[in-house]
Amino acid sequence: MTTRTDLVDSGVPWLGHVPTGWKTKPLWSMFERIKDVDHPEEQMLSVFREFGVVAKDSRDNHNKTAENRSIYQLVHPGWLVANRMKAWQGSVGISVLRGIVSGHYICFAPRHGEDTRYLNWLLRSTAYTNGYGLLSRGVRIGQAEIDNDQFRLMPILLPPVQEQRAIADYLDRETARIDTLIEEQRRLIEMLRDRRVATVAEALDGYEQTQVRRLVDHDRPMTYGILQCGEPVDGGVVYIGPSDILGEGVSPDRDALRTTSPEIASAYKRSALKGGDVVVSIGPAYGKVAVVSGDLAGANLTQDTVRVALRPDLVDTRFIVWALLSRQTAEYWDYQIMGATFRRLNLGTLARTPIPLPAIHEQRRIAAYLDEQTAKIDTLIAETEQFIELSRERRSALITAAVTGQIDVRDVA
């Protein structure tokens, strides 16, 4: 593989320079738009930005299939399919399958003799995704619809067919290698996450247990917070809800919190917070844990969060955080709400949650150990995630370089 030097201006700003002898044709000269409906018995297909046209049930898909499948469009192998609302994100591809797709897609039957694998790589490249963005107009936040008339005129870059096949062969091979490497790294992340959970669980095993409520300051019993917080008030009292708890014991940022009126807050003095209090989310978004920082003294809670004011002579705050986030606690909560129509954690179940209780000096040792070990694992996970992201970027750059002729792959075996 070498960098090509025989490049000339393509005349298309978003394509840039391309090899001498490569041509462009308008999309309409190669594809004919067809809308063939009333084939409810065919398999459902979908267009994913990462995978192109695939069987809908082969990937996680939140879009529901309509009861009336007759409104879906039939496509055949070799057809071009574009999600008109998400083409700018890369939801375009040449199908290798026969099936039906959403009636909101644009479907084109081939009228050409070019290599379909090359066209699939080309039309899904970053260069063409950028081109779709220029042809799309916004209809609402996060959505932009491609202009059909402009889409028909989109220039399709065509090297000689033999070179198209060489490019497709090269990309099939090289992206498969990258994909395999990425999948291996994803499996490593799962292993690291499993190891993290096991590390916490193992450190907490083998000790006598007590219930959370027995570790709480008698003068400040466990309680949830404000039932109706009302509209935000400038200069009001900040409060913590489940969505504000982001990390493992990390305190919410005061500036990011919502506010309620002093009048409402004064009616809930029982749930006012002090620095060092533990806050646990209950309700449907249960299981998140924060330790309140000193600047949040006087803040309050919502009804789906609980204050746990610990006795420092009995329990180390950081140790309690790890215990509440452990696999043992998660399994206890799962058992307690098993069979419930709505999976919710309530104050009573939280209060009765069993917690290991070694001597307080041992608690501090365990907490320090878990802070250290999980930090090491988190670093490895972050490094692996960065490697995956760099690999994805390299994959994307390699595809664009090959299909636009920036690299010469004709003699690459």
The stretch 168-190 carries a mean pLDDT of 97
Confidence of residue 85 (pLDDT cuts 50, 70, 90): confident
pLDDT in tens, 328-358: 999 999 999 987 778 899 999 999 999 999 9
pLDDT in tens, 307-336: 999 999 999 999 999 999 999 999 999 999
Q: How far apart are CA 240 and CA 280, in angstroms?
A: 10
Q: What percent of the chain has pLDDT over 90?
A: 84
**Domain 208-357 belongs to what topology?**
Adenine-n6-DNA-methyltransferase TaqI; Chain A, domain 2 (3.90.220)
CATH of 23-158, one of 3.30.565.10, 3.40.50.2000, 3.40.50.1820, 3.90.220.20: 3.90.220.20
Residue 290's Cβ-count burial label (10 Å; 0-12, 13-18, 19+) is: buried
Q: What residues contact residue 214 under an 8 Å CB cut-off, 6+ apart?
A: none
SS3 state of residue 153: coil
CB-CB contact of 8 with 21 (8 Å): no
pLDDT at 391 over 70: yes
The stretch 243-252 carries a mean pLDDT of 94
Confidence of residue 233 (pLDDT cuts 50, 70, 90): very high
Residue 78's Cα: distance from chain center in Å?
31
pLDDT at 62 over 70: no
| Residues forming CATH 3.90.220.20 domain(s) in the chain | 23-158, 208-357
143 forms beta bridges with 140
- Terminus-to-terminus CA distance in the chain, angstroms? 9
Tokens of 199: 């590390």
* Strand boundaries in 176-265, DSSP class E: 209-211, 223-224, 237-240, 258-260
Q: How far apart are CA 289 and CA 247, in angstroms?
A: 7
Q: What pLDDT shows up at residue 61?
A: 57
Confidence of residue 51 (pLDDT cuts 50, 70, 90): confident
CB-CB contact of 388 with 381 (8 Å): no
CB-CB contact of 300 with 226 (8 Å): yes
For residue 31, give the nearest of 108, 97, 85 by alpha carbon. Answer: 108
Q: How far apart are CA 253 and CA 182, in angstroms?
A: 35
Q: How far is CA 218 from CA 221, 307, 311, 334, in A?
A: 6, 13, 9, 28
CB-CB contact of 242 with 257 (8 Å): no
For 197-224, give the DSSP string: HHHHHHHHTTS-EEEGGGGB-TTS--EE
Residue 40's Cβ-count burial label (10 Å; 0-12, 13-18, 19+) is: exposed
